Structure formats: C-alpha cells, structure tokens
C-alpha cells in the first residue's frame, strides 16, 4: 500500500545506527501523469511515422502501448521486490534490482529515491546524494523526495561533492529544498524539520526562534501535533530555565496564536 502525505518517514530524532537502518522511508506511487504524457507522446510519434510510409515496419500504436505498460508494470514489480528486501535490511541485494531501473532514460524517480536510501544505509553518501537529487528534481514530487534530499544536505554538509560546494552552500541548498517542500508542496514533515532546525539552530543554520515557531505551528495545525508540540515544549523549557521565557503556554493556546 502506498503512503500518503500524512505518513511521516522523516525525523530528526537521535537514533542508533541499528535503529536508523530499521527506519524505512515510505513513498506514494509515482506512476502518474508523467508516464501518461510519455505514452501519449510515443503514440503520436508512431501515428505520424505511419502516415509517412504505408510500408513502415513500425509496430502498431496498440502493440507499442502494450509494451510500454508491460515495462512499467515490470518496473513496479521490481521496485516492490526491492522495497521488501530493504525492509529486511538487504540493501546490497535491493540495489542490484533498483540501479538498472533508476538509470533508465528518462530516469525512474521512484527507483532513484530507493537507490539513494540504500546507499545512505550502506554509508556510501556520495552515491546516496546523487540518486536523492534525481528524485528531488522530479517536478511532480509531492514533497517527500525534496524534503529527504534537503535534510540529507544538512546532515552531510561537509561531504565532498563534484561541484566543490562549500559546507555553507550545501546548508543553504538544503534549507532551500526544505522550504520548497514545505512552502510550495505543503509537505508537513518539511515544516516540522524546518521548525526544529530554526528553533534550535541545528546543522550550522542560524537560529531563528520566531521562524522556527511559525513552521512548528504550521506542522502542528496540519496534523503533526505530537511531534511539533514536543519540539516546541522542549525548547520552551530551556528558555524558561534560562529566564528567557516567563512560562510555557498551554498547548491549544500556543497553536492558535
């Protein structure tokens, strides 16, 4: 079953390596208008070709469309098989299935996302970044892929990269990606991550309490109530202890103000 935006695959909690490996990020189905557009384009191309030559040996549109759908169905089956292996922490075996699919032209963004996930779990961060970026650049992503890539850039800002970007530039790119996911795609987990990053000044990002509270409230009111309130309450307790905040507000009042 494919997840919805309300499911939460991303977090910033401290976890052990074993716990981190057991976390399986979840993704919605990617077989949408992108493939329909390609199929229509392919069909029109064949029809035009047939008009040019009555002796054309080109397969009929219906035969070609059946082939396209067969390949797509096969890819879906392979990705399902790979994600099953990922759940069992068989990342290397999953990669052997996913990489050929993710390297297709045009790229299969769902496979690229899972390929990046496998490489991250295997601690091959350079390859993880490469495939995460492919999935994040998908125009019809609902926010998860771009949020995952943005969070990855923050966590690995010092990673060597082919563009020789500095750690500061990578942090800026990570925040930019998370903002795109949160502000334009309305992805709740991106709002939560930004809130926690800004309110605490994590990953070398300049602390911005007001901006952090704003994002946490947006995440809270969107459905991430428990996580967003916990992040704020923890920070509020520190501020009260340091005399920077008079008292911790009631949860429902905080959420509405």
Read off φ and ψ for residue 43, nearest 5 degrees.
-65, -45
Is residue 157 within 8 A of residue 165, CB to CB? The reply is no
Is residue 238 within 8 A of residue 226, CB to CB? The reply is no
Is residue 205 within 8 A of residue 197, CB to CB? The reply is yes
pLDDT digits (tens, 9 = 90+) for 93-151: 999 999 999 888 888 899 999 999 999 999 999 999 999 999 999 989 999 999 999 99
Domain membership of residue 220 (yes or no) is no
CA distances from 248 to 98, 177, 196, 200, 221 (A): 48, 32, 17, 17, 19
CA dist 220 and 216 (Å) reads 6
pLDDT digits (tens, 9 = 90+) for 52-87: 544 444 444 444 444 344 347 888 899 999 999 999
Residues 6+ apart with CB under 8 A from 220: 228, 229, 255
The pLDDT confidence band at residue 45, using thresholds 50, 70 and 90, is low
Domain membership of residue 84 (yes or no) is yes
| 36 against 5, higher pLDDT | 36
Domain membership of residue 106 (yes or no) is yes
Q: Environment class of residue 168 by beta-carbon count within 10 Å: exposed (0-12), middle (13-18) or buried (19+)?
A: exposed
DSSP assignment of the chain, as one string?
A: ----TTS---------HHHHHH---------SHHHHHHHHHHHHHHHHHHHH-TT--PPPHHHHHHHHHHHHHHHHHHHHHHHHHHHTT-HHHHHHHHHHHHTSSS--HHHHHHHHHHHHHTT-HHHHHHHHHHHHT-TT--SHHHHHHHHHHHHTTT---TT---HHHHHHHHHHHHHIIIIIS--HHHHHHHHHHHHHTGGGPPP-HHHHHHHHHHHHHHT-HHHHHHHHHHHHHHHHHTTSSS-PPPHHHHHH-
Domain membership of residue 223 (yes or no) is no
* pLDDT on residue 242: 94
Domain membership of residue 68 (yes or no) is yes
Domain membership of residue 108 (yes or no) is yes
Is residue 25 within 8 A of residue 144, CB to CB? The reply is yes
Domains of the chain: total: 1
- How many residues are there in the chain? 257
Q: Kindly report the number of other CB atoms within 10 A of residue 182's CB atom.
A: 26
CA dist 221 and 218 (Å) reads 5
pLDDT digits (tens, 9 = 90+) for 186-205: 999 999 999 999 999 999 99
Structural domain boundaries, residue 76: 16-23+32-49+59-119
Domain membership of residue 148 (yes or no) is no
Domain membership of residue 114 (yes or no) is yes
pTM more than 0.85: no
Is residue 82 within 8 A of residue 67, CB to CB? The reply is no
């Amino acid at each position: 079953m494919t997840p919805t935006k309300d499911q939460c695959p991303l977090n910033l909690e401290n976890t052990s390596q074993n716990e981190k490996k057991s976390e399986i990020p979840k993704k919605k189905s990617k077989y949408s208008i992108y493939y329909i557009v390609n199929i229509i384009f392919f069909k029109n191309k064949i029809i035009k070709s047939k008009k040019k030559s009555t002796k054309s040996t080109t397969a009929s549109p219906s035969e070609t469309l059946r082939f396209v759908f067969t390949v797509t169905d096969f890819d879906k089956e392979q990705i399902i098989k790979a994600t099953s292996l990922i759940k069992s922490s068989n990342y290397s075996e999953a990669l052997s299935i996913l990489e050929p699919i993710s390297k297709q032209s045009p790229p299969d963004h769902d496979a690229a996302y899972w390929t990046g996930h496998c490489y991250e779990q295997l601690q091959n961060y350079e390859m993880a970044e490469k495939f995460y970026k492919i999935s994040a650049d998908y125009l019809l992503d609902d926010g998860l892929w771009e949020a995952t890539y943005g969070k990855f850039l923050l966590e690995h800002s010092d990673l060597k990269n082919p563009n020789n970007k500095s750690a500061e530039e990578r942090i800026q790119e990570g925040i930019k990606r998370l903002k795109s996911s949160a502000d334009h795609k309305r992805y709740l987990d991106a709002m939560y991550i930004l809130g926690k990053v800004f309110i605490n000044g994590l990953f070398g990002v300049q602390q911005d309490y007001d901006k952090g509270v704003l994002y946490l409230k947006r995440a809270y009111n969107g459905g991430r109530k428990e996580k967003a309130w916990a992040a704020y309450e923890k920070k509020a307790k520190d501020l009260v202890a340091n005399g920077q905040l008079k008292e911790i507000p009631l949860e429902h009042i905080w959420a509405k103000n």
